[in-house]
Structure 1
């Protein structure tokens, strides 16, 4: 609205098609290229390691790690394509992780694994981009 230069939208970050549709929507509806993306979607669920089901683990990984990967990849592609028009030839991708991704925590195996993955993904993206 008005002179706003940002937009919040709902997207299933764990679904590649949904993320691609989001960036297509942004491309078609915004006169400026994507210059900043904040990956803050996440879920925290508690379960003892020995009671953690495959589905439980996969749900947390799907949102927290896969979602961060999919949005980071799509944003990086957009920013690389638009590099000629972005200030300094680039943009910013901010990934929200947790100190628990480095330290671990009882009853949070899926969450801590996902956030540890986000930390590693962010370091790799910083080196590549």
Structure 2
């Protein structure tokens, strides 16, 4: 849905309850600090605690850089990046307080990045920047929260959702990007089996399962140039020695 539309969320709640589970819908604005706090508070109040946070809210406002408006940039960053920060921040506070009270946590943060953020996709400067930010945010959260019994990982799913339902794709492509290939990874990350895994971004779709490697220091010169006129000669061999970067063309 859009805005405060509870329809899709309530549909999922109904499915979970029909299967014998417990669930509750929430219509707070994920891009607001107050909304993020309300979401976390509702989960704690409804279920008596908090063990797993899955940050998956998103919108698209695709546009080439020279045509993108300030609102199109801000809205995507707010929902994806700020929204991920907000719920994670209040969940982290809850787990930290539990730890300070002598209680043990075995908790998870599971964020949603994207290959558009990892490998760059033209026309998605706002979305890609947000998703790249989420990947690094996840690594930082993993380092900060490990002492409190919390892991943080991200998925970079290849899945078609309501964001992309209007795309006219062949059946073969629809099968490759069915969300069913992503759900098992999220389930595993939320389970005790992943307790020792943190700070990773996992790609998942109907074609492959992969660990996305973050920025790594590549070819290095240990005698850096001191003058501008020396930079070109120094950096050219380093550029030539870099490995080929993964691109969006490598995904399909």
Q: What's the TM-score bracket when you normalise by the shorter of the two chains?
A: 0.7 to 0.9
Seen in structure 2, the aligned counterparts of structure 1 residues 5 and 92 have a Cα distance that, compared at 3 Å, is: farther
Q: 2:44 aligns with which of 27, 31, 41?
A: 27
* In structure 1, distance between residues paired with 2:86 and 2:114: 19
Cα deviation, residue 127, structure 1: 0.9
Seen in structure 2, the aligned counterparts of structure 1 residues 97 and 73 have a Cα distance that, compared at 3 Å, is: same
Say yes or no: does 1:9 pair with 2:33.
no
Name structure 1 gaps, 5 residues minimum: none
Spell out, residue by residue over 1:60-109, the C-alpha distance to the aligned partner (whole angstroms, 9 max, x if none): 000010100111111111222234545xx230010011011121111111
Cα deviation, residue 116, structure 1: 0.5
1:18 is matched with: 35
**In 1, are the aligned partners of 2:31 and 2:83 still within 8 Å (CA)?**
yes
**In 2, are the aligned partners of 1:79 and 1:90 still within 8 Å (CA)?**
no
* In structure 2, distance between residues paired with 1:82 and 1:12: 26
**3-state DSSP of counterpart to 1:82:** helix
Q: 1:110 aligns with which of 111, 126, 142?
A: 126
2:61 is matched with: 45
Of the two structures, which has the highest relative contact order with CA contacts closer than 8 Å and spacing of 6 or more? 1
**3-state DSSP of counterpart to 1:81:** helix
When the two structures are aligned, how many residues end up with a matched partner? Answer: 126
Cα deviation, residue 8, structure 1: 4.3
**In 2, are the aligned partners of 1:36 and 1:92 still within 8 Å (CA)?**
yes
Name structure 2 gaps, 5 residues minimum: 1-16, 146-252
Which TM-score applies when normalising by structure 2?
0.46
Aligned Cα RMSD in Å? 2.0
* In structure 1, distance between residues paired with 2:33 and 2:79: 11
2:237 is matched with: none
**3-state DSSP of counterpart to 2:21:** coil
Q: Which has the larger radius of gyration?
A: 2
Cα deviation, residue 30, structure 1: 2.7
Spell out, residue by residue over 1:17-74, the C-alpha distance to the aligned partner (whole angstroms, 9 max, x if none): 111122233333332x100010000112210100111111000000010100111111
Q: 1:69 aligns with which of 78, 81, 85?
A: 85
**In 2, are the aligned partners of 1:43 and 1:60 still within 8 Å (CA)?**
yes
* In structure 2, distance between residues paired with 1:25 and 1:112: 30
